[in-house]
Amino acid sequence: MMHTHTANRKTAKETVTDYVLGYTDSEQERLIRQAAIIAPIAERFFREAGIGTGQRVLDLGSGMGDVTMLLARLVGPSGEIVGVERDANSIARAKARVRAAGLRNVNFLNTDVNNIVAKEPFDAVVGRFILMFLPDPVSVLRSVARLVRPSGVVAFQEPSWTAMLALGKRLPVWLRTRQLIHEILLRSGANREMGIALYRVFQNAGLPPPKMHLEMPLGNDVNFIRLTSDLLCSLRPLAKQHKVSLQDLGDLETLPDRICGEVAAANTVVSLIGVVGAWSRKSGRADSSDGEPAEAEGE
């Protein structure tokens, strides 16, 4: 089923969509700013996974097109990136950004990741911060892996919150903010530990155990810290829906400044998110990703 979310755009402060983070303008700006910080990590990861010149790559949950454009530069004019996104407005914005960047090797499919049809096989399927939102990531991974040629690459970046929260011991306001975001995501069904779960998700989808690593961007300036309070703003409708009180945090307008103050006083840095990268290659056999799950699916 294809979804569009025209009614949920703009300043829909109290609107709940079936995608946890929603599609307000401010959420889309947050995604773009977050992507700029993660870009060096993403580029290293995709290069390590073997993505390069001339390849055809499928990008799941392309959003504002940041991963899509990074990949488009990696594969060059002889390659092609197909971004899959179910929100038509996000695709329109991503297309405009692709045009403005002068990239001609990008196409978008406006569909749900469960319903992708492709005539030709891809060299790789990738995605960032998408499997964490899916009710059945194993079945999606299994079906998209079938669109990849034998020996092709499957590479995903998903979050881990546990490592990030461990950094907040001396930062009560930052920690409380992150704990409340964590609680809202938990009650909304998003998997905050999808990064670590990728190890089993890959195998349950019939893929070889992935190579993995965890990286965390760190910082303490107001723009960096604002990404945390902006994420909270995107989640406010869900906080209300799931009855998570934000009262502990006081005035949300002054939250970024107060976090900056406590981080400066502690002379330290905070993390934006723990980014787990996991990648593996399909085996050379044509039916390699059609195998049975390695174990019961517990993700």
Ligand X SMILES: C[S@@+](CC[C@H](N)C(=O)[O-])C[C@H]1O[C@@H](n2cnc3c(N)ncnc32)[C@H](O)[C@@H]1O
Q: Closest CB to ligand X among 263 and 278? A: 278
Q: Is 271 helix (H, G, I), strand (E, B) or coil?
A: strand
Told to check if 30 binds ligand X by CB under 6 A, we report no
Min separation Cβ 89 and ligand X, Å:
9
Min separation Cβ 186 and ligand X, Å:
16
Min separation Cβ 42 and ligand X, Å:
8
The identity of residue 175, as a single letter, is L
Q: Closest CB to ligand X among 192 and 263? A: 192
Q: 213: which strand partners?
A: 277
**Measuring CA to CA, which residue among 184, 115, 123, 192 is closest to residue 155?**
123
> Which residue from 9, 12, 45, 61 is in contact with ligand X, where contact means CB under 6 A?
61
Which residues between 104 and 133 bind ligand X (CB under 6 A)? 112-113, 128-130, 133
Min separation Cβ 176 and ligand X, Å:
23
Which residues between 225 and 284 bind ligand X (CB under 6 A)? none
Residue with tokens 């990703």: 289
**Measuring CA to CA, which residue among 26, 14, 34, 25 is closest to residue 239?**
14
Told to check if 67 binds ligand X by CB under 6 A, we report yes
Q: Closest CB to ligand X among 86 and 226? A: 86
Strands 218-219 and 270-271: antiparallel
Q: Closest CB to ligand X among 33 and 213? A: 33
Q: Which region among 86-94, 201-209, 230-238, 257-265 touches ligand X (by CB under 6 A)?
A: 86-94
Told to check if 91 binds ligand X by CB under 6 A, we report no
- Cα separation, 136 vs 144, whole angstroms: 13
Min separation Cβ 175 and ligand X, Å:
23
- Cα separation, 108 vs 69, whole angstroms: 12
Backbone angles phi, psi at 184, to 5 degrees: -65, -45
> Which residue from 12, 31, 141, 232 is in contact with ligand X, where contact means CB under 6 A?
31
Question: Burial code of 78-91, b = ≥16 C-beta within 10 A, e = fewer?
Answer: ebbbbbbbbbebbb
Min separation Cβ 135 and ligand X, Å:
9
Question: Residue 75: which residues within 8 A CB-CB, separation 6 or more?
Answer: 51, 52, 53, 54, 55, 56, 57, 81, 105
Q: Closest CB to ligand X among 74 and 171? A: 74
> Which residue from 85, 123, 158, 230 is in contact with ligand X, where contact means CB under 6 A?
85
Question: Is residue 62 within 8 Å of residue 115, measured between CB atoms?
Answer: no
- Cα separation, 163 vs 154, whole angstroms: 24
Residue with tokens 């695709």: 91
Strands 122-128 and 148-160: parallel
Min separation Cβ 63 and ligand X, Å:
3
Residues that bind ligand X (CB under 6 A): 19, 21, 31, 35, 61-64, 66-67, 84-87, 90, 112-113, 128-130, 133-134
